[in-house]
Structure formats: C-alpha cells, structure tokens
Amino acid sequence: MEKKDVTALLSAAFSAREQAYAPYSRFSVGAAIMTEDGRIYKGCNVENASYPAGLCAERCAIGAAVAEGKRAFKAIAIVGSEAVYTTPCGICRQVLHEFHVPLVICARTREDYLFIEGENLLPHAFDDTALHS
Ligand code: THU
C-alpha cells in the first residue's frame, strides 16, 4: 500500500477518534477503512450504559462502508491511545476476516504504527467454508 494511502487512512482514523463516545472506559478509538476503489469510511467506538451493547470503532467503520455498498477493502487503520498499539479485539478480527481485509494498520501516532497482515489476524478462523461444506 502506498505511503500516501497510509497517511490518508491514519488521518481519517485520528479524526474519527475525536468523535468516540467512550464515557465508561475513557478509551477513545478511531478507525478508518479504505475500499478497493479508494474511498475511506470512518468509525469510532460507541459505548453504552449496558456495557455489552458498546460498539468497536472497527466494526462501525466496516458497517459504514457496507451500508454504502462497499465490500472490497484494501486496509483498515486503528488508533487508540498513544501508549500502546491498539490492535483489534477478537470479535472485530472475526468481522475483518469476513470481509477479507488484507491489512490492518495499528497506530500510536501518525509516525509510529505497525502493520498486521490480514492472514495473521485470526488463525483457523471459522467462516463460510465451514458453513458451506
Ligand atoms: N475498542 C475498540 O473500539 N477497538 C479496539 O480495537 C479495541 C477496543 C473499544 C471498545 C471499548 O469501547 C473501549 O475500546 C475499551 O475496550
């Protein structure tokens, strides 16, 4: 993926993080996903007083893209705190796997990020191959 695309995705993820609704954990997360045709969709975590009803930033970003008819993706960027690389939770890994997201960019800052290849996200994942076998 080109550096300019990484920069654009990170910028969108940082901007999405500003909208995070995280009054319970106080851990704001932003995500931005790039489609095959170069569009970017943003998501942030949206918590709830009923804790399990909270949504992660990654799934909100994917939902926003899917609602616009986009299902083919190049990469997703995630930004939480500066202290650590915020990596996707187990449920989000399952959803990223569903849409074959090939690259996950976990950022601490705009200059400090790591890449996770999609194929390394969820070994032995359950998916439609099992359902259709
Ligand atoms: N969270 C995300 O939005 N994405 C992640 O990758 C990790 C965790 C959110 C869920 C919850 O609102 C808060 O961060 C603390 O777990």
Which residue, by CA, sits nearest to atom 14 of ligand 1? 27
Is the Cβ–Cβ distance between 73 and 39 less than 8 Å?
Answer: no
Q: What pLDDT, on a 0 to 100 scale, did the predictor assign at position 132?
A: 87
Cα separation of 62 and 57, whole Å? 9
Nearest CA to 38 out of 89, 3, 72, 11 is that of: 72
Cα 25 to ligand 1 centroid, rounded to whole Å: 8
Evaluate whether 97 touches 72 at the Cβ level (below 8 Å).
no
Annotation says 58 is catalytic:
yes
Predicted local confidence at residue 116, as pLDDT: 98
Report yes or no: 90 and 43 within 8 Å, Cβ to Cβ.
Answer: no
Read off the tokens for 59.
Answer: 């799934």
> Is residue 130 packed enough to be buried (19+ CB in 10 Å), middle (13-18) or exposed (0-12)?
exposed
Indicate which residue's Cα is closest to atom 4 of ligand 1. Answer: 56
pLDDT along the chain (133 residues), means of 10: 96 98 98 98 98 98 98 98 97 98 98 97 94 87
Note whether 70 and 77 are within 8 A (CB).
no
Nearest Cα to 45, choosing from 72, 70, 25? Answer: 25
Of ligand 1's atoms, which has the minimum distance to the CA of residue 78? 6
- Would the CB of 57 count as within 6 Å of ligand 1? yes
Q: Is 29 in the pocket of ligand 1 (CB under 6 A)?
A: yes
Distance from C-alpha of 77 to C-alpha of 9, rounded to nearest angstrom: 6
How many CB atoms within 10 Å of residue 7?
A: 12
Q: What pLDDT score does 9 carry?
A: 98
The whole-angstrom separation of Cα 72 and Cα 35 is 6
What's the predicted TM-score (pTM) here? 0.96
